[in-house]
Amino acid sequence: MKYALLIYGSEAEYPAPDSAESREIFEAYMAFTNEISEAGINLGGEALQDTQTATTVRVRDGETLTTDGPFAETKEQLGGFYLIDAPDLDAAIDVAARLPGSWVGSVEIRPVWEWDPSG
Amino acid sequence: MTTTGATLEHVFREEYGRVVASVIGQVGDFELAEDAVQDAVAAALTTWPRTGLPSNPGAWLTTTARRKAIDRLRRAANFARKQEELAYLVELDRRASEEAEPDVAITLSDDRLRLIFTCCHPALALEARVALTLKTLGGLTTDEIARAFLVTEAAMAQRMVRAKRKIRDAGIPYRVPSDDQLPDRLGGVLAVVYLIFNEGYAATSGAAVVRRELSTEAIRLGRLLCRLMPDEPEALGLTALMMLHDSRRDAREAGGRVVLLDDQDRSLWDREQIAAAFELLEAALRRGRRGPYQVQAEIAAVHAGASTPTDTDWARIVSLYDDLMALVPSPVVALNRAVAVAMERGPEAGLAAVDALSNRLDGYRHFHAARADLLRRLHQKDEAAVAYRRALELSANDAERAFLEGRLAEIGAETPAM
């Protein structure tokens, strides 16, 4: 099955970009990414810039409404994601527990809809 | 063998959980498996009265259900994924009929063990785990479970449908967890079983008769776990603990009022059940891996082994509570220990130990009830009355309230108007 691992954390608590702590986190993510790539289960993923850069778009009655900021103000924000291939939820939980984001914030596991081409 | 309605109902009740477990294992889908087993039961109801009971009704139902599942998949096979399932099942069925049924008993017990871990998966809401376990492994009907938990049948059915969909859609596996996950997961399974037991035993609300069934069912599930995982001492410990509590069932309530351990008529205790629990506990302790359920069972065993309250080895109980504190430090365990200290060394020592917990347990009714009892024994009537009233404020259980009101009357204080 395909699972999305959505990484949530509090932007307010992120370390400064050039700090030693920030480098440590970056290295932990690199190690994690290598690990799942070597295991052949990494289907992709990205880190997102913070929600100050976010723009939200809604189209209503043919009109495009554009607002500054994320779709909702929350204590923890979506900061990135991975897409992985895992045989079942237990395997996905194992991977999520190794994801550095789960040690400080939270990782939400969501199975991905898999459309059947022949359907 | 006869095939009267009563016999058939008995067979279905006995076999249902095992057959469903086995079919879920084969088709990998709760809803499909349950529907297929229903189809198989319907087929049995028309076939068996004509042909007589098959020699192995469980195997008959499993085979029939597997074929019914194939039929259902054929009708719905417009997705490639279903085609794969279908091909797998047809192959499985072909092999099963060639080999006859292999060792049915072993396969079935493996299936049930896997199913317990699926039903108690931590990715499901706790209420859903309890409901699924009772339905799938206990063979209780949705209506029975709904009545036990005071919700409508429709609400309970909805809860179970949601849980089963999550199992399927989120890919919750149908297997015994790997060794590194097993300790956590087994703890989760035991917690669900103990919760079911306590819902039946320490009823916070609800009709007594249905509740009793829950305790009985929890003990049956505990025994099943012991058979399936004989090397897991905590499964043995939990089952012994539940049986020891349950052995006092007939003595712990009289005329709608809770009867405390010290005041219970010990001739009403179920000696046979106590002996069986002792055996389980000894088997658990021989494994040399003591855990919280085993220690709690050891404490219950000290009580069960005493012919009168004064006969009780309170020093031993205090020391077992010390062991329990080391395993699971919690203020509630500390309160129980304090009560045991009062029995061993007198109410004054007990009160000091209880008072030390006041800031952590102020909202806990048993804290105030225990404190009130010690104050009463120390003849501090006014303070005792204050504590009894505080316990009353926090209690919603009728039998417990009746007890507390009785104690208030004994010390000559009035029950507060509610």
CA–CA min distance B102, chain A (Å): 28
A115: contact with B, CB 8 A cutoff = no
Percentage of residues in chain B with pLDDT exceeding 90? 45
**Chain A residues with beta carbon closer than 8 angstroms to that of B82:** none
Which candidate, B30, B321, B335, B72, places its Cα nearest to that of B164? B30
Any idea where the domains of chain A sit in the sequence?
2-111
Q: Which of B79, B123, B177 sits opposite A116 (nearest CB)?
A: B79
CATH code, A2-111: 3.30.70.1060
CA–CA min distance B219, chain A (Å): 28
Cα nearest neighbour of B121 on chain A: A90
For B56-103, the DSSP string reads -HHHHHHHHHHHHHHHHHHHT--SHHHHHHHHHHHHHHHHHHHS-S-S
Q: Which of B78, B81, B171 sits opposite A88 (nearest CB)?
A: B171
Cβ contact, residue pair B170, A111, below 8 Å:
yes
Taking each helix axis as running N to C, give the angle between helix B30-51 and helix B5-27, from 0 to 180 degrees, rounded to the nearest 10: 140
- pLDDT at site B417: 58
Residue type, B302: V
Return phi, psi of residue B187, to 5°: -55, -40
E-strand stretches of A26-104 = 42-47, 55-60, 63-68, 77-85
Which candidate, B413, B401, B345, places its Cα nearest to that of B376? B413
**pLDDT band of B402, cuts 50, 70, 90:** confident
Q: What digits encode the pLDDT tens for the residues B215-264?
A: 888 998 899 899 888 889 999 999 999 999 999 988 888 777 778 888 89
CA–CA min distance A29, chain B (Å): 23
- pLDDT at site B78: 60
Higher local confidence (pLDDT), B341 or B57 = B341
Cα distance between residue B53 and residue B11, in whole Å: 10
Cα distance between residue B115 and residue B117, in whole Å: 5
**Interface test with chain B among A5, A90, A107, by most B beta carbons within 10 Å:** A90
Cα distance between residue B334 and residue B254, in whole Å: 29
Report chain B residues touching chain A, CB-CB < 8 A: 78-81, 121, 123, 169-173, 177-178, 181
Return phi, psi of residue B157, to 5°: -60, -40
Contact, B52 vs B3, CB < 8 A?
Answer: yes
Cβ contact, residue pair A119, B172, below 8 Å:
no
Give the angle B125-B129-B133 at the CA atoms, nearest 5°: 170
A46: contact with B, CB 8 A cutoff = no
Cα distance between residue A5 and residue B184, in whole Å: 22
For the cut 50, the answer to whether the pLDDT of residue B104 exceeds it is no
For the cut 70, the answer to whether the pLDDT of residue B210 exceeds it is no
What global pTM score does this model have?
Answer: 0.78
What six digits make up the tokens of A86? 């895992």
Cα nearest neighbour of A94 on chain B: B181
Q: How many CA atoms within 13 Å lie on the side-chain side of A69?
A: 4
DSSP B253: E
- Tell me what the mean pLDDT of segment B73-101 comes to: 68
Please state the ipTM of this predicted complex.
0.83
